[in-house]
Structure 1
Amino acid sequence: MQTLHVRSSSAAHTAALGRALGGLLEEGDLVSLSGDLGAGKTTFVQGAAAALSVSEPVLSPTFTLVRTYAGRVPVHHVDVYRLRAIQDVLDLGWDELLEGGGVVIVEWGDAIDAILPASRLEVRLTIPDGEADAREVVVQGLGDRWERAWPTVTGAVRAAAG
């Protein structure tokens, strides 16, 4: 597992980090987002979706649970915050999302770690104490795909971090 730590200074910077990583995503990739409530998970997804040529507004799927956007590849944006059990996620058509092509980005992915693919990108966003605009961002690459891509991931994130 590869790990990279970076600091975001604003929502725009968090979106830029999302764009940097989104530009590296390919069909079949999964990104698991976790962290503090209000830390910018949806903002990160907005940046990633922009890099994947999604032209429509990207909204939080907190109540709809899944939103799919057309882009360079389909982007399936999933929010499992309100779900109580892994079976609830499976009932959403989880297997079809994973096998149906496109990129899957899951907010609160740590809650369903048991059913996430072994190969994935994990992004944790936390709010440092007393710093309302700053975010600590930890990116981890799991599996062979991310092991091979890690130098590119590191370069893209560092370039976005400025």
Structure 2
Amino acid sequence: MTLPLAAHGDITQQSVDAIVNAANNRMRGGGGVDGAIHRAGGPEILDDCIARFPHGLATGDAGWTTAGRLPARWVIHTVGPNHAAGERDRSLLVSCYRRSLEVAEELGARSIAFPLISAGVYAWPRDDAIAASVATLATTPTRVEEIRIVAFDEATHDQVQRAIRAYSPEIQ
């Protein structure tokens, strides 16, 4: 079992093998984390999305592309449920984390950085988004050695850190 770590900062600056993108079904870029990753990584990411996912990607699934100019080797794109649009099946959110780890394993990634999937413009309740990420990442068998949950703001980082500690009290 690999317990996740809380990281504070910009996911596009994480020096890891794979960065997870909270993408939309179309896989053509968007707002929030998706837009930031596409802007920072450059047009190579969009070109690879178009080539690899001509019909998009289903909610709860994941797939990879180049990372372009990002400090990572790959971007693992996953489509979270849009809570604001009525997609409230938590198993789809959990699937995003599991499928992303499966893709990371297929690629041979040893380190990965996750955003809080669906917690931004898709409006998944933050407390539950954090709980789902920590529990799923902590209990999914994987050979990935380092798993980060990256929070852009300090308050969210502190909340993720508390959730990890609550899940595994021996972590200080």
Structure 1 or 2: more strand by fraction: 1
**TM-score after normalising by structure 2:** 0.39
**TM-score after normalising by structure 1:** 0.41
Structure 1 or 2: more helix by fraction: 2
